[in-house]
Amino acid sequence: MERKRAREFGIEIGSLEPGRLNAITDVKGVGVGHVTLIQGESIRTGVTAITPHSGNIYEKKVIAAVEAFNAFGKSTGLLQVMHMGVIETPILLTDTLNTWRVADAVLDYFKERYHFTPKTLNPIVGETNGGFLNDSFGRHVKKEHVFEAIDKARGTEGREIVEEGNVGGGTPMIGYGLKGGIGTASRMYENITVGVLVQLNCGKREDLIINGVPVGKELNVPRPQRGEGGSIMIIVATDLALTSRQLWKLSRRSIIGLARTGSYSSVTSGDFVIAFTTGEKKIEDFKESIKKEGFDGNELFLNPLYKAVAEATEEAIINALFKAETMMGVNNNIVYELPYDQVEEIFKKYGRSID
């Protein structure tokens, strides 16, 4: 049976409307490219590239911000984003121990694709730990995979439907003791789009909540012996031209969406949000819809976007679970997918109709 997204399954999270694709690629210009490596018994890894636009990002940087909710994580480049307020490379997501080789490959990408030898460059690489299913120490993601992922993201392929589940950097990941990986979603507000993509590798089984229903407690699926309690990478894109400070505050609301899926952001989690804007339209350009009321009329306009990012994050996480498939990997470790029939059963019990 083909895996469906949460919304195809009849689960509608939140109240705002998704964009056309219900994906981060609804934000104009944003591309996503996955390279998935599944070989033999022990290689279950890959890399995902998110490109804010298809051009040379070093030359046309994008305004950005980072929230490090719990920084037990190896992501590269984030402190510079916090201080400079811009991103100057694609964002790459991968398995923990690939992190630095992927970052290094980004240098080569700039040289080979743009015939420009960077003297300095701040590659943004996010990671979660796929070591239960993947031979992480093997560091199987190579330069060519990084190139391919970025090329895909920049090409037309990267602008359309985003594959979810066991793909790209998300290939070996575990979410709430079930098969996790990549998920995405988006929300619209007054022609503004907020898109989110997650690499889900966190949460304990018993804590899983789907749209308010405590599914984790009710599920009857074997749990992996290890790999619960890990990390999540959350990428947020919007086409509203915000400042870095505003994006930072926006990014913090992703944690609200994360919380609603059941995570407690464990001690050993690297729970990071990276937000950027591709837009040129500012809040001021929506003046007619802005009711000045007190403090900072303009900034109040952000409230619906806070909701949008929380909803999109929650749905992206649930999408990762809905799309990921049971996987066996290194040491014959196995992680099971979210079983649709059980979800249906549990939802009924909790008075939620699924259409």
Pairing relationship of beta strands 270-282 and 232-241 according to DSSP bridges: parallel
Torsion of CA 95, 101, 104, 108, to 10 degrees: -100
* d(C-alpha 198, C-alpha 93), whole Å: 9
Q: Which residue number, 75 or 166, has a Cβ lying nearer to a second copy?
A: 75
DSSP 174-214: EETTEE-EEEEEEEEETTEEEEEEEEE----GGG--BTTB-
Nearest to 184 by CA among 155, 216, 160, 154: 160
Interface with a second copy, residue 253, by CB under 8 A: yes
Cβ at position 102, least distance to a second copy in Å = 8
* d(C-alpha 180, C-alpha 166), whole Å: 7
Q: Which residue number, 125 or 162, has a Cβ lying nearer to a second copy?
A: 125
Cβ at position 171, least distance to a second copy in Å = 17
Binding piece for a second copy, criterion CB under 8 A, among 18-26, 111-119, 151-159, 274-282: 111-119
Q: Which residue number, 209 or 324, has a Cβ lying nearer to a second copy?
A: 209
Q: Which residue number, 27 or 103, has a Cβ lying nearer to a second copy?
A: 103
Pairing relationship of beta strands 232-241 and 192-200 according to DSSP bridges: antiparallel
Return the residue of 15, 156, 220, 332 that touches a second copy, per CB under 8 A: 15
Pairing relationship of beta strands 86-87 and 62-71 according to DSSP bridges: antiparallel
Interface with a second copy, residue 268, by CB under 8 A: yes
Is 263 catalytic? The answer is no
Contacts with a second copy, 171-210, as mask; x by CB under 8 A: -----------------------------------xx-x-
Q: Find the binding residues for a second copy in span 209-248 (CB under 8 A).
A: 209, 212-214, 229, 243-245
Q: Which residue number, 25 or 134, has a Cβ lying nearer to a second copy?
A: 134
Interface with a second copy, residue 342, by CB under 8 A: no
Interface with a second copy, residue 256, by CB under 8 A: yes
Cβ at position 1, least distance to a second copy in Å = 26
One of 231, 244, 251, 263 is an active-site residue; which one? 231
* d(C-alpha 100, C-alpha 336), whole Å: 30
Cβ at position 237, least distance to a second copy in Å = 19
* d(C-alpha 28, C-alpha 125), whole Å: 22
Q: Find the binding residues for a second copy in span 39-98 (CB under 8 A).
A: 61, 68-80, 82-86, 88, 96-97
* d(C-alpha 99, C-alpha 130), whole Å: 12
Is 231 catalytic? The answer is yes
Interface with a second copy, residue 101, by CB under 8 A: yes
Cβ at position 178, least distance to a second copy in Å = 19
Cβ at position 198, least distance to a second copy in Å = 16
Cβ at position 113, least distance to a second copy in Å = 15
Q: Give the orientation angle of helix 303-323 with respect to helix 244-252, to 10 degrees.
A: 50
Residues near 201 by Cβ (< 8 Å), separated by ≥ 6? 128, 129, 130, 170, 173, 174, 175, 180, 227, 230, 231, 232
Return the residue of 89, 136, 193, 278 that touches a second copy, per CB under 8 A: 136
Residues near 122 by Cβ (< 8 Å), separated by ≥ 6? 77, 80, 81, 87, 88, 89
Interface with a second copy, residue 294, by CB under 8 A: yes
Nearest to 174 by CA among 80, 246, 66, 96: 96
Return the residue of 38, 306, 340, 344 that touches a second copy, per CB under 8 A: 306
Three-class SS state of 48: strand
Interface with a second copy, residue 310, by CB under 8 A: yes
| Active site members | 231, 269, 271
